């Protein structure tokens, strides 16, 4: 079990390191990245124009490239969440198995909505402002709201990984995961919080991977 937990943490960390290294050496990377979750905060056609301009702008091209890469990220986080759900199912079957099944379903639903969101966003980015309707913007927003809501629910369900009489650092994660989930639910309704939720969520998941990779025995104490 120690080795399995260590791998669950080490594999994502390795992939992140490789992606970061690739970004640093890739000649085609733009000198400045677009603001975090910029398109996911668009609510009107006027906001779209302010963020990325009209069809053919460099900003739109950058957003399209980001979305193409995001399809790979979707597959990655879905696999990661399902792996954590399998790990959760190893706990007391009286309750953990059902939570694991629910977490797998919400993670899959989040990934599906993420794909729908990306496809809707790509359609908007390929359409001139004159042809962009509010309905097209709303389709992006609906998928975005569903995605982040389902991710938040998944985080809350998977926080059961850290419950019980455990070492203090593990108990800290039992508090952090639901707290981040709550922040995500609030961010769905108050969009300015989305960047903060995105960064904090990634930070907590990164810290979790570090715990798993560096000290799996600590995580497994009381498991």
Residues present in the chain in total = 223
**The pLDDT of residue 148:** 93
**The pLDDT of residue 70:** 86
**pLDDT tens-digit series, residues 73-110:** 899 899 999 999 999 998 877 788 999 999 999 999 99
- As a whole number, mean pLDDT of residues 49-73 equals 87
**The pLDDT of residue 103:** 97
> Containing domain of residue 181, as a range?
2-220
pLDDT bucket at 31, cuts 50 / 70 / 90: very low
**The pLDDT of residue 209:** 93
Q: How many domains does the chain have?
A: 1
Q: Mean pLDDT over all residues of the chain?
A: 86
What share of the chain in percent tops pLDDT 70? 90
**pLDDT tens-digit series, residues 134-175:** 999 999 999 999 999 999 999 999 999 999 888 999 999 999
pLDDT bucket at 36, cuts 50 / 70 / 90: low
37, 193 contact by CB (below 8 A): no
């Amino acid at each position: 079990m120690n080795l399995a937990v260590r791998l669950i943490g080490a594999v994502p960390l390795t992939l992140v390191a490789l992606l970061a290294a690739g970004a640093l050496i890739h000649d085609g990377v733009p000198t400045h990245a677009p603001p975090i979750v910029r398109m996911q905060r668009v609510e009107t056609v006027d906001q779209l124009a302010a963020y990325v301009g009209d069809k053919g702008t460099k900003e739109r091209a950058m957003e399209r490239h980001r979305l193409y890469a995001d399809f790979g990220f979707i597959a990655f986080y879905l696999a990661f969440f399902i792996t954590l759900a399998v790990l959760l199912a190893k706990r007391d079957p009286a309750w953990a198995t059902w939570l694991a099944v629910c977490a797998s379903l919400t993670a899959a639903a989040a990934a599906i909505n993420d794909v729908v969101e990306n496809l809707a966003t790509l359609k908007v980015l390929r359409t001139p402002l004159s042809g962009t309707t509010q309905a097209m913007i709303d389709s992006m927003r609906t998928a975005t709201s569903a995605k982040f809501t389902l991710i938040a629910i998944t985080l809350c369900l998977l926080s059961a990984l850290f419950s019980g009489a455990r070492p203090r650092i593990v108990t800290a994660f039992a508090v952090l995961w639901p707290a981040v989930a709550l922040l995500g639910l609030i961010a769905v309704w108050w969009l300015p919080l989305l960047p903060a939720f995105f960064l904090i969520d990634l930070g907590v998941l990164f810290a979790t991977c570090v715990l798993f990779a560096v000290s799996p025995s600590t995580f497994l104490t009381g498991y």
